[in-house]
Chain A
Amino acid sequence: MKAFAVFLGLCLVFVFVWERVDVVRIGYQIERLKRDKTVLERQRDELRVKFSTLSASDRIARLATEKLGMSLPQQGQIIVVQSRPVQFRPTDVHRPDVVPVELKIAKNYLPSGRF
């Protein structure tokens, strides 16, 4: 009985020490994960800034004009076509206030065999 009590006491001491050691170990682990999280968050923020910088309208317009040879549409070249047309008769084409506009459509965008 005495030996059992000593054994139980030793077990309790062991469990207590083991628990303390484990708390410290997990503490180090948490700190390491926190550092990793901070580094990843920092990388995410850097990438967000980079994405925002690269997608700036100013930069895209510069690349479009300088590298791709595109140009801004001149006045009158932008036409937004209504999805629900106003009442318009074919004979209106001959009205003096109606200005015909030449609409060029790239061949690649037309359905094949219909050009």
Chain B
Amino acid sequence: MTGSISRGRRYGLLLLLLCGFGVVLFRLFTLQVLQAAELSVKADRQHRKTVSLEGARGTIVDRHGKVLAMNVEVPSVFGVPNALDSPLKTARQLSPILHVQTDELERKLRQDRSFVWLARKLDPEQGRRLDRLSFDGIGIVMEGRRFYPKGSLLAHVLGFSGMDGEGLEGVEHRYESYLRGEKRMMVLQRDALGRTVFPRGVTERSPTPGQSLMLTIDEVIQYIAERELEDAVGRAQAKSGTVIVLDPKTGAVLAMAVSPRFDPNAVSALGPDRWRNKALTDAYEPGSTMKAMMAAAAIEERVVRPNTMVFGEHGHMTIANTVIHDHERLGWVSFAQVIQKSSNIGAAKIGMALGEQRLYRYLQAFGFGQRTEIDLPGEGAGLVRNPRDWGRRSVASISMGQEIGVTPLQMVAAVAAIANGGVLMKPYVVSEVRDADGHILRQVPPQAKRQVISPETARSVTKILEGVITDGTGAKAAIRGFRVAGKTGTAQKIDPRTGTYSTSRFVASFTGYVPADNPQLAMIVVIDEPQGDAWGGAVAAPAFSRVGEQVLSYLGVSSNEPVTLVMASRKS
């Protein structure tokens, strides 16, 4: 029969089908049972993508909430050299966008590697240009980049962070644990096209961003301080300079300016000498500004009163076979005039009357020779030797600011203590820590360290220091309409070649507070190696006056001095 299939053929067909099913079943058994473990791992690897996510680094703002440092996600470009057809062509196309030389890009793209960074943390605009183009073997990932929108303003305090976002200097370094965002590994599920379908466990929360810091610094006061410091350093053709402005009642740092400045947005080309915060790391011999503290100690210990008469030895006095000079040949003067005229001989005499133990005790009480414990890294302790190591002239030298090393921060903190009725406050720069939603997590209260001198002594010293401006060496620190108290200082630097005091290299300084009767600002101006007229009263005092006047005006502090206003009008 032609229409019927023979029995043998039917069995043959059945056998063939059975064999086919057998092969399929065998394959299934191999895949699902024998290779199950290995293949499920492989599938998991293809479908699941583990990504490392890091919360954005916290923002740093000034005391009015103005942004000083913040993170923005920017593109970084990488290459996969093995996947490139023409490294040269790709390098030529990328070069104008990445601002990297073509041959350098080509060299990177020809490496025998599966991944190579071409440029990291580009500007957002460069990222947008890259988005418009498509390159095989070139990829973009987003990374957080630290921006300092005010440029060099406050750079020495803020510090900067490294390429991987870790704080390396300043507040960025000191508060790293607060600023750094949480790092989390997250598992995502991908489809056949590599798109993310759904995060495994959709309830997984995103990594928490870093906490934000509010500083005590006021951007405007900082700007005024930096501008006037640059001006003073420029006028004096000096090597460097420092201005610190404190609130004497709380110890809050309102401004901390260091010259020369640097831009933390482009720090890679600069060395540590440029970004070191000299206001708190570098010690200098303060010279006559130390007489303010010596005067406070002597009055507190009742060694002298402001009107006690002191003989000025007509400008020359021999102590321990060395001669101390005064710039003015003074005869009998009151103790107040000793300070106002900045007499070295008078200060030495009073220092000797005070004695080394009491002098040393007050140096320590004012915070010299120890860190102020400001919340910034790298602070130096200065240098105050133990009286055991003092020579025969040491008491006299220290009383006029020699044989002692202080940082500008220590000096302004000590002067602020006199302004604050004798209470030494701990200086600080961070006032609040907030979470990403702006909730306050921690508030830093002002911290009093100790009562160094009595309020009565502080008032007496203030009166003497006011005389420095009205009748003494600090006339150029005067601010119209306000009572200023302060002290000038001009210290010779040690000549490293001879080991003796240089006759051409000085540190000129002025430190004081204003208004003297209700201090709102305590300030120090230090100018390192001014040329020409290097006196503190000529170089640093005018900068104190200019900063003080503008800051008082900005803060709305009104004058107590009577001033007549005459309104001038003209008919049109």
Contact = CB atoms under 8 A, between A and B. Distances in A.
Q: Identify the 9 closest CB pairs spanning chains A and B, nearest first.
A: A27-B198, A52-B149, A57-B223, A52-B67, A82-B558, A53-B149, A78-B553, A80-B558, A45-B72
A27 B557 contact: no
Interface string A68-100: 000000011011111100101000110101111
A24 B571 CA distance: 80
A59 B205 CA distance: 41
B21 to A, nearest CB: 26
Interface string A9-42: 0000000000000011001101100000010011
B479 to A, nearest CB: 8
A19 B66 CA distance: 49
- How many chain A residues sit at the interface, stated as a range, is 35 or more
B522 to A, nearest CB: 19
A102 B568 CA distance: 7
B566 A103 contact: yes
B198 A103 contact: no
Interface of A: 23-24, 27-28, 30-31, 38, 41-42, 45-46, 48-53, 55-58, 61, 75-76, 78-83, 86, 88, 92-93, 95, 97-105, 107, 115
Given A42-B72, A58-B150, A80 B568 contact: no
B549 A75 contact: yes
Nearest to B147: A49
Contacts of A56: 149-151, 153, 219, 223
Contacts of B532: none
A101 B566 contact: yes
B188 to A, nearest CB: 9
24 contacts: A27-B189, A30-B202, A38-B73, A42-B124, A46-B72, A49-B72, A49-B147, A50-B149, A53-B150, A53-B151, A56-B153, A57-B219, A58-B150, A58-B151, A61-B227, A75-B545, A79-B481, A80-B559, A81-B565, A86-B560, A99-B563, A101-B563, A101-B565, A115-B572
B134 interface: no
A79 B564 contact: no
A49 B70 contact: yes
A45 B69 CA distance: 11
Nearest to B567: A103
How big is chain B's contact interface, by range?
35 or more
Contacts of B553: 78, 80
A79 B70 contact: no
Interface in B528-572: 545-546, 549-550, 552-553, 556-560, 562-569, 571-572
Given A52-B66, A78-B550, A93 B564 contact: yes
B153 A58 contact: yes
B266 interface: no
B202 to A, nearest CB: 8
B219 A24 contact: no
Contact of A24 (B142, B198, B559, B572): B198
Contacts of B219: 56-57
Contacts of B480: 75-76
A31 B196 contact: yes
Contacts of B568: 102-104
B127 to A, nearest CB: 9
> For B71, B142, B557, B563, which residue has the most chain A Cβ atoms within 10 angstroms?
B563
Contact of A23 (B195, B198, B556, B564): B198
A95 B227 CA distance: 37
Contacts of B23: none
Given A45-B73, A57-B153, 6 more contacts: A27-B196, A30-B202, A52-B150, A80-B552, A103-B566, A115-B571
B95 to A, nearest CB: 25
Given A48-B70, A55-B66, A88 B562 contact: yes
A95 B562 CA distance: 10
A84 to B, nearest CB: 9
A100 B67 contact: no
Nearest to A23: B198
B361 to A, nearest CB: 41
Interface string B227-239: 1000000000000
Contacts of B151: 53, 56, 58
A75 B563 contact: no
A44 B147 CA distance: 14
A45 B564 contact: no
Contacts of B36: none
B198 A45 contact: no
Nearest to B478: A75
A89 to B, nearest CB: 10
Given A27-B198, A28-B195, A58-B151, A78 B563 contact: no
A80 B153 contact: no
A88 to B, nearest CB: 5
B19 interface: no
Contacts of A23: 198
Contacts of A103: 565-568
